Amino acid sequence: MKGLYIHIPFCEYICHYCDFVKRVPKNKEMIDEYLQALVKEINQYKDHFESIETIYIGGGTPSMLDQDQLVFLLSHLKDIHPVEFSIEVNPESYTKQKGEIFKKYGINRVSLGVQTFNQDLLHYLNRGHTNDQVFEVVKHLKDIGIELISVDLIYAIPKQTYEDLKYDLIMINKLDISHVSCYSLILEEKTYFYHQYMRGNFKQVDEDVEATMYKMVMDELKKQGFEHYEISNFAKDGHYSFHNLIYWTLGEYIGVGLGAHGFVDGKRTYNERALSKYLDHYLKEETTQIKEMLIQDELIFGLRKISGVNINELENKYDIKLFETYPNLQEKIDIGLVEIDKGYLKLTKQGLFLGNQVFMVFI
Ligand code: SF4
């Protein structure tokens, strides 16, 4: 599969934990100018249009584009016919008219930024929506036939109790959606929370609490009929995120927009992250992946999948012997973080939570 990732780096406000490439736009003209440059970049990849099978419009907040801006962007993608076409939506910037535009231009999957259903915690994260808005968006999307709906959740938020998380998972059940992405809150540099942390005003959740919460998420979503198919992702009835599976299986994807990166013809591309530079010349760097890097990526991304990595396929593809190349891997098996199951190298239940300790072996 080949994917196209399109980055919209604008948000109405900045969440306190966010380290994505984003900014609050000065005015509508700033977004218009960006979209002009973005479309130019998209058109550079016209030769690939026929082979693109997934499109993912992410951000930032793509749903904050106004109707004209959405039509402008989407109309430039009409010659691509993906099987999966996703867009990220924040509940407060969705309107029925925008939903109709999504539908008209072939968007068939929406990833909804919810994070939590607790209003105090939402406020603490600096998010600006209400639970009613979440339910209204999901209802309208279903009404117009966009059935593939994913919700993003965050757990291990300071002050979040087990009861709060339980409530979030009950709400997920009520929404009756096909996909959930659930990440623990990570303290990233250059965020509001990080500044608070440096001043002693932010305390990260204890690791044991975080592990218990992760287990709660896994157990409850399983009960609700979700399949846990990637460290942080859960799907019902095989409705995986095919676009994200491209990343996890080292497939090809084109990345366009501010700060986007791609992987095409064995080369990694990295776009400019500063808006003024991007408007002038989008590509910052292009590097050919050497074999060692490819193997490392195959293992690190591949182990994120619950199904793991097929050892034979990997060894044949790169002409290596896994345990000769990574002798320290055995130690991770011995301490129960990794296992071999029917020819696949996989993280164990414990390893799912401590994946980074395993990934270090390959770096
Ligand atoms: S989390 Fe999403 S909505 Fe919040 S600032 Fe980051 S990109 Fe914007």
CATH number at residue 304: 1.10.10.920
- Asked if residue 18 has its Cβ within 6 Å of ligand 1, the reply is yes
Check whether residue 55 and residue 112 sit in a common domain: yes
pLDDT for residue 240: 98
- Asked if residue 181 has its Cβ within 6 Å of ligand 1, the reply is no
Do the domain assignments include residue 58?
A: yes
Neighbours of 244 (CB within 10 A): 25
What per-residue string of b and e applies to 57-70 under the rule 16 or more CB within 10 Å gives b?
bbbbbbbbbeeebb
Check whether residue 217 and residue 317 sit in a common domain: no
Check whether residue 10 and residue 110 sit in a common domain: yes
Check whether residue 192 and residue 136 sit in a common domain: yes
Q: Which atom of ligand 1 is nearest to the CA of 127?
A: 4
Do the domain assignments include residue 276?
A: no
Do the domain assignments include residue 125?
A: yes
Q: How far is the CA of 160 from the centre of ligand 1 (A)?
A: 20
Do the domain assignments include residue 65?
A: yes
Boundaries of domain holding 134:
2-246
Check whether residue 322 and residue 240 sit in a common domain: no
Q: What is the pTM of this model?
A: 0.96
Check whether residue 313 and residue 233 sit in a common domain: no
Residue that finishes a domain, picked among 219, 246, 273: 246
Check whether residue 179 and residue 297 sit in a common domain: no
Do the domain assignments include residue 341?
A: yes
Ligand 1 atom 4: the closest Cα is on which residue? 15
Q: How far apart are CA 113 and CA 291, in angstroms?
A: 36
Look at strands 179-184 and 233-235 and give their pairing. antiparallel
Residue that finishes a domain, picked among 213, 246, 279: 246
Q: How far is the CA of 24 from the centre of ligand 1 (A)?
A: 10
pLDDT for residue 266: 87
Q: How far is the CA of 113 from the centre of ligand 1 (A)?
A: 9
Check whether residue 213 and residue 315 sit in a common domain: no
Check whether residue 177 and residue 318 sit in a common domain: no
Residue that finishes a domain, picked among 186, 221, 246: 246
pLDDT for residue 6: 98
Please count the structural domains in the chain: 2
Q: Which atom of ligand 1 is nearest to the CA of 88?
A: 2
- Asked if residue 126 has its Cβ within 6 Å of ligand 1, the reply is no
Do the domain assignments include residue 255?
A: no
**Ligand 1 mutation pick, 17, 21, 22, 183, max ligand atoms within 8 A of CB:** 22
Q: Which atom of ligand 1 is nearest to the CA of 90?
A: 3
**Ligand 1 mutation pick, 8, 10, 13, 14, max ligand atoms within 8 A of CB:** 14
- Asked if 170 and 116 touch (Cβ cutoff 8 Å), the reply is no
- Contacting residues for 63 by C-beta, under 8 A, at least 6 apart: 87, 88, 89, 90, 93, 94, 98
- Asked if residue 90 has its Cβ within 6 Å of ligand 1, the reply is yes
Q: Provide the 8-state DSSP code for 49.
A: G
Q: Which atom of ligand 1 is nearest to the CA of 14?
A: 5
Check whether residue 161 and residue 31 sit in a common domain: yes
Check whether residue 226 and residue 301 sit in a common domain: no
Q: How far is the CA of 17 from the centre of ligand 1 (A)?
A: 8
Q: How far apart are CA 272 and CA 21, in angstroms?
A: 10
Check whether residue 313 and residue 242 sit in a common domain: no
CATH number at residue 115: 3.20.20.70
Which residue from 77, 150, 78, 144 is spatially nearest to 110, judged by alpha carbons?
150
Q: What is the pLDDT along the chain (363 residues), one digit of tens a residue?
A: 899 999 999 999 999 999 999 999 999 999 999 999 999 999 999 999 999 999 999 999 999 999 999 999 999 999 999 999 999 999 999 999 999 999 999 999 999 999 999 999 999 999 989 999 999 999 999 999 999 999 999 999 999 999 999 999 999 999 999 999 999 999 999 999 999 999 999 999 999 999 999 999 999 999 999 999 999 999 999 999 999 999 999 999 999 999 999 999 889 999 999 999 999 999 999 999 899 999 999 999 999 999 999 999 999 999 999 999 999 999 999 999 999 999 999 999 999 999 999 999 999
Do the domain assignments include residue 258?
A: no
Q: How far is the CA of 286 from the centre of ligand 1 (A)?
A: 27
Do the domain assignments include residue 363?
A: yes
- Asked if residue 61 has its Cβ within 6 Å of ligand 1, the reply is yes
